[in-house]
Amino acid sequence: CHGIQSIQSKRGSSSHNHNPFVALKAHGATEENGEVYGVNLIYSGNFSIEAEVDCLNATRLLAGINPTDFTWRLEPNESFTAPEAVMVYTDKGLGEMSRIFHRTYMKHLIKSPWRDVERPVLINSWEAAYFDFDDDKLVAFAREAAKMGVDMLVMDDGWFGRRESDDSSLGDWYVNEKKLKGGLSSLIERVNAEGLKFGIWYEPEMISPDSDLYRAHPDWCLHVPNRENSPARLQYVLDMTRKDVRDNIFAQMYKVLSENKIDYVKWDFNRNLTEVGSALLPPERQKEVMHRFVLGTYDLMDRFVKAFPNILFENCSGGGGRFDAGMLYYSPQIWCSDNTDAIERLTIQFGTSMCYPISSFGAHVAARPRTSLKTRGNVAMCGTFGYELDPRKLTDDEKAEVKQQIADYRKYHRLVREGDFYRLVSPTENDFYCAWEFVSPDKQEAMMTAVVMRQPETRYCVQRLRGLDPKTYYQDEETGTVYSGAMLMNAGLNLTRDVYEDGTSVTKHFKAVK
């Protein structure tokens, strides 16, 4: 139809509402057939993407910085660099479009040395303890986690300043030694002694009104003169356009990271920008602040990844509110969503896979009882894989199951990281179940997972696979049964006995045999 369809963000980040990605597909195009154009803006701030069909039935697509409240003053001999966009074309459907994006970003965009290696299985303290922890509790987490094969303990929010809830101390990046009684170095040594590496949480772009930094520098937050600031999550946003602000945050964080054996940083961003003004810019340049904020954040991230090239950085924004290609350049993985329920994650992870590689999905097993531990593990395997729970509360049977899940992750991590991803059954287009598949680049290995969302009264489930070599024979790792690739792709697998009630799941692994 004629007119303009658009998606955009005016929140200062790519946002939870829309992502800077669109796909234009021909009528009748599917996952595996038909013409598709995909466009993704490599940018983490305000954006606008518009598709217009004019009176001649021609389609025009515009993608770039959102023009709302944006201007940029160019002096003589100055230049302005606009964000780049990646465009993919294929006549093989949405699935091939996604796989081209995945390969392109893995090969050309993500720069971290962690891109091509096995990621550590981590356990994050947030859903296990929130703010209620001390060094002894964290060491107890590490001790139990180590028995199951976990690689790393991540200490989330609550370790700095006087932080006992979310109403203070952002910007005061020094250790709360009343909580961590032996100090951070002592805690890390104790965690390392249990056999685990150590990670830490930061929210570098934010400042609490109740903080030493705000009391010393109230003008360092984004603000507009004579207008009251609007707190969100009881915090303000630092003016990242200012080098003195970035230098201060870098110095505080550098001291902690350089003096302690830290292997991972979770970089959070928990609110959007309001009262967007900078004390250092003249009135005629205030509409540059949104873009300058993004450039300032990129500058700070760049300094950290260069200063600490071996640290694994994971981006986050209240979950997936800043999951974009700009962030992927600095961090090889991004926390997909704060919603860790396995059934809800199906839609979240399927949607994210339209553009972004599976190896970039921060995905964990959480203590959410709606589904079995098995299903939670199968869903988290479609990502970086880790845990968000108190390991001390697991039963012996659950601990044994976690140990097996971690062994499976180590066995299949390369297939997940490097394999071609196929969305077999979408959770938004099927009320019964959803399914996906990984196929190794040489087509010698494949893994299919199916998860039941809502079991119908009469069930019958045959699932065809994709991406295999029709002339190759594949053996089911669990049963030993051998199938031809042609049979798996055309006749399919009968899963009726495997997917039978709400929240159940099955994973099938195949390897080529002669």
**Average pLDDT, integer, range 455-467:** 88
Contacts of 331 (CB under 8 A, 6+ apart): 112, 267, 301, 305, 313, 314, 315
Amino acid identity at 107: K
The tens digit of pLDDT for each residue in 268-296 reads: 999 999 999 999 999 999 999 999 999 99
* Closest among 57, 60, 66, 53 to 18, alpha carbons compared: 66
Q: What is the pLDDT of residues 142-162, one digit of tens each?
A: 999 999 999 999 999 999 999
Identify any residues that bridge with 52 across adjacent strands, giving them in sequence order.
Answer: 4, 60
On the question of pLDDT at 459 being above 80, the answer is no
**pLDDT(460) > 90:** no
pLDDT more than 70, % of the chain: 100
Active-site residue list: 268, 338
Q: What is the pLDDT at residue 369?
A: 84
For 247, residues 6+ apart whose C-beta sits below 8 A from its C-beta are none
Question: Is residue 318 scored above 80 in pLDDT?
Answer: yes
Pairing of strands 312-315, 197-202: unpaired
User: Is residue 487's pLDDT more than 90?
Assistant: yes
HSE of 470 in the Cβ direction (CA atoms, 13 Å)?
4
The tens digit of pLDDT for each residue in 322-356 reads: 999 999 999 999 999 999 999 999 999 999 999 99
Cα 31 to its chain centre, rounded Å, is: 23
State the pLDDT at residue 457: 76
Structural domains of the chain sorted by starting position, each given as residue range(s) with its CATH number in brackets: 3-105 (no CATH), 113-418 (3.20.20.70), 421-513 (2.60.40.1180)
pLDDT of residue 421: 98
The CA-based angle 211-212-214, given to 5 degrees, is: 65
Helix (H, G, I), strand (E, B) or coil at 238: strand
Average pLDDT, rounded, for the chain? 97
Average pLDDT over residues 302-328: 97
